[in-house]
Structure 1
Amino acid sequence: MREQIIHKSTELFLNLGFKSVTMDDIAKELGISKKTIYVHFPNKTKLVEVTTMHLFEIISHGIDCICALDKNPIAELYDIKRFVMEHLKDEKSSPQYQLKKYYPKIFATLKQKQFEVMHECVHENLSRGIKQGLYRDTINTEFITRIYFNSMLAIKDTDLFPLKIFSMNMLLDNYLEYHLRGICKDEGIKILNQFITKNQS
């Protein structure tokens, strides 16, 4: 039952937001009493924490698997973007921004974990791109890695990028292009243009 609660809660939080989903909503969706949820989770905050970390582990594992394939670095970034979008349901409710607003302690823990995973992944991606002659060898990889992480957080800020104007998919596509055009050499730009054309078709 605990796993069912986590699964259903994750789905509801992603689609409707952490703020609007109540324990009653989760119980109703599962066809159980609220008391049953409280057997496994003492309060909503604990449930939010567990579901957040559960989703983080799934996404981190998926990213690790994509990175292990040792693909072309540009293709790798697009594969990661596609995988994350599939698991975050296009972030209709901007869960990360809501988490920051209503559950700041959980957000801070998640942010640190995300940074550790992304730092390793992006740094490795940049190093391989330089070795393969796709990225400029003059870039400061540590600087780019940190800018990349911070920019990924920034585009999830719905005050800056309202979901009525920008879908998360559109934001990620635009940011990936922006990021890659800043670091690619001519050969990398050719590959990037192929992905952009493919996405538009």
Structure 2
Amino acid sequence: MRAKIIEKASDMFLTLGAKSVTMDDIANELGISKKTIYVHFKNKTKLVEAVVFEVFETVCNGIDCVCNTAENPIEELYQIKVLVMEYLHKKKASPQYQLKKYYPDIYRRLNLKQFEKMHVSIRESLQKGINMGLFRPDLDVDLVSRFYFNGMSGIRDSDYFPHEIFNMEYLMESFLEYHLRAITTEKGLHILNEHLTSNQS
């Protein structure tokens, strides 16, 4: 039952926003009593926490699969973008904004875990790209991985990139191109341009 509660709450939080969804709403959707939810979660904050870190682990597993199967680090970044966009497809709420505003402690801990995961993942990807001759050999891998994390985090901030003006997919596409054009060799740029051309047609 705990897993079912998390799954339903996750869908509702992402669609409607964690702040606006009540424990009653979740119980009604599942056809159970609110008391059943409280057997597993002592309050809504604990449920939000469980949902947030369950989603984080799910996305991390998906990213690991992409990293293990992608043809090269350039395709890897675009496949990860597709994975994230598919997960958020048709979701109307802004989970990052709501967490930051209403559950700042959970947001802070999530941000740290995201950094730990992405910092390692991006460093490995950058080094792989250097070894394949796709990324510049003079890159400061540690620094660039931090630039990348900060940039990806930044474009999700609706204070600076309002959703009424900027579509998230457009933001991610633009940031990836911006990032890759800064670090690719001529060989890497050729692969990037091929990717961009094939996805425009």
TM bracket, shorter-chain basis: over 0.9
How far the C-alpha of 1:71 sits from its partner, in A, is 2.6
How far the C-alpha of 1:122 sits from its partner, in A, is 0.4
Tell me the residue number matched to 1:180. Answer: 180
Matches of residues 25-174 of structure 1 in structure 2 within 5 Å? 25-69=25-69, 71-89=71-89, 92-174=92-174
> In the aligned structure 2, how far is the partner of 1:198 from the partner of 1:99?
37
> In the aligned structure 2, how far is the partner of 1:92 from the partner of 1:171?
16
CA RMSD of aligned residues (A): 1.4
Instruction: Give TM-score scaled by structure 1 length.
Output: 0.95
Percent identity, aligned pairs only?
A: 56
Structure 2 gap ranges (5+): none
Contact 1:63/1:80 (<8 A) preserved: yes
Contact 1:91/1:168 (<8 A) preserved: no
Amino acid at match of 1:8: K
Contact 1:92/1:163 (<8 A) preserved: no
The worse-fitting range, judged by mean Cα deviation, of 186-195 and 113-122 is 186-195
Q: Quick check: 1:12 aligned with 2:39? A: no
Which 4+ residue blocks in structure 1 deviate beyond 3 angstroms? none
Structure 1 gap ranges (5+): none
How far the C-alpha of 1:70 sits from its partner, in A, is 5.4
Report the count of equivalent residues.
201
> In the aligned structure 2, how far is the partner of 1:191 from the partner of 1:91?
32
